[in-house]
Amino acid sequence: MDNALPPETPPSTPSPAPPGPAPDRRLFQRLTVLSIIALFAGSLAVAVIGLRQKTESVPSMDASKLLLSRRPNLVGVVSLRGPIYDSDESRMFGAPRIEAWVRRFKRLIEKENVKAIVIEINSPGGSVGAVQEIFSQVKKMRSKTEKPVIAYVGDVAASGGYYVASACDKIVVHPGSLTGSIGVIFSVSNFTELMKKVGVQMTPIKSGKHKDIGSPTRNMTDEERKLLQDVIDDAYGQFLSAVSEGRNMPLEQLRPLADGRIFTGAQARKLGLVDVLGDSEDALNLAAELAGMQDAPQAIRDSDPWQGLIEILGSAFKGHSLGSLSGLSRPRLEYMWGGLGGAE
């Protein structure tokens, strides 16, 4: 590394500075520095103008409109992976997962040079609220921007994953992808025997007789079972309506398929639950075709490469109790397929 530096000079023993360069040479040197400053200022100005134009629609820092100006026809790709929950696990360093996903999706679809979107789904579903949030945002942005949105299923888009896919214009799956599992689940644990063994007794003081419905510390009554069944039936009805509307499929045709069973991509195609058997490239091409793009589509991915690390760090900081991880003490309404160990 020593050789990387110019010859050493003894600063602590000042010696007379060498005579400066000739005036002509100095003028040239100053003009050189001025040119570099002008180049920098020009670049900064161009970037700032680009940012200002973009921020009219998206109030966050994003110069991609400016920087991608040579690529006017893009297909945005955004991934939706894993169980869909509106968890707080990443809140320590940023927005919760669903909020961050919706923001990324919106940012991508609102880009002027992005003509269509492909959502890569690989999810067994998730909580009803989180799934419906994504479903609703996808539908809203579709109608607002009038840009086609394609769902591409990798391994699995079951239950809530399929719910989200049904919000898209078309669904592309591999023949062996797993999909379907249309239904709702609400799992309630029962610890009564265990609590008897360890000598623990819970005494809830409640304002109404159903305030502790779903409590794991006692057996469920028939009345409670009926109430919960009504809740599940209602959420199930919402699922059916969403799929029926999204897929343009009559409820009578859909209902027999919606008993929670899963389908391969090929089976789902025959039944009309998906549109195309293909791969990620086919999904891109379909998106480009629906957007009326003439040239071969170029994909732009708006992912957050730090999100994984943030989630790991967040979970390490936060710590977990056995209950919070296993979900045993936290019953919730889910559009979730349990075949991948997803349902708790």
Partner 1 sequence: MNRFAAQLDIIYDFFASPFQAMESVRGNRPVLLGLMAYLASGMTWIIVQAFPGTFNAEILSWIPWPMLLAMGGVVAVIVGICLTGILHITAELFGGNGSALGLYVLLGLSELVWVFYLPILFLANFLFGYTGVFHFAALLVLGTISLSLKARSIRDNYGFTSRRAWTVLFLPYTIAVLLGAGFLAYLIGSAVVTALKLI
Is 63 in contact with 51 (CB distance < 8 Å)? yes
Which positions from 98 through 117 interact with partner 1, judged by CB under 8 A? 100, 103-104
Examine residue 207 and tell whether it contacts partner 1 (CB under 8 A): no
Is 104 in contact with 302 (CB distance < 8 Å)? yes
Examine residue 296 and tell whether it contacts partner 1 (CB under 8 A): no
Q: How far, in Å, CA of 160 to CA of 126, rounded?
A: 6
Residue number, 47 or 202, with CB nearest to partner 1: 47
The residue written with tokens 């002027």 in the block is 112
State which of residues 302, 335, 337, 342 lies at the interface with partner 1 (CB under 8 A).
Answer: 302
**DSSP β-ladder status, 74-81 and 333-336:** unpaired
Examine residue 271 and tell whether it contacts partner 1 (CB under 8 A): no
Q: What amino acid positions are annotated as catalytic residues?
A: 159, 211
Examine residue 328 and tell whether it contacts partner 1 (CB under 8 A): no
The residue written with tokens 């599940």 in the block is 232
Is 307 in contact with 301 (CB distance < 8 Å)? no
The residue written with tokens 């419906």 in the block is 132
Cα distances (angstroms) measured from residue 62 to each of 48, 59, 68, 281: 10, 9, 11, 27
Q: How many residues does the chain have?
A: 344
Residue number, 14 or 250, with CB nearest to partner 1: 14
Examine residue 324 and tell whether it contacts partner 1 (CB under 8 A): no
Residue number, 25 or 226, with CB nearest to partner 1: 25
How many residues form the binding site for partner 1 (CB under 8 A)? 66
Query: Torsions phi, psi of 247, nearest 5?
Result: -90, -5
Q: How far is the CB of 110 from partner 1 (least distance, A)?
A: 13
- In SS3 terms, 169-233 reads as CEEEECCCCEEECCCCEECCCCCHHHHHHHCCCCCCCCCCCCCCCCCCCCCCCHHHHHHHHHHHH
Residue number, 229 or 324, with CB nearest to partner 1: 324
Which positions from 15 through 74 interact with partner 1, judged by CB under 8 A? 17-18, 20, 26, 29-30, 32-34, 36-37, 39-40, 42-44, 46-48, 51, 55, 59-64, 67-68, 70-71
Q: Which two tokens stand for residue 179?
A: 């999909």
State which of residues 194, 200, 251, 325 lies at the interface with partner 1 (CB under 8 A).
Answer: 325
Q: How far is the CB of 87 from partner 1 (least distance, A)?
A: 16
Examine residue 176 and tell whether it contacts partner 1 (CB under 8 A): no
Examine residue 205 and tell whether it contacts partner 1 (CB under 8 A): no
In terms of Cβ atoms closer than 10 Å to its own Cβ (0-12, 13-18, 19+), residue 206 is exposed
* Site residues for partner 1 per CB under 8 A: 1-2, 4-6, 8-14, 17-18, 20, 26, 29-30, 32-34, 36-37, 39-40, 42-44, 46-48, 51, 55, 59-64, 67-68, 70-71, 93-95, 100, 103-104, 300, 302-307, 312-313, 315-317, 319-320, 322, 325-326
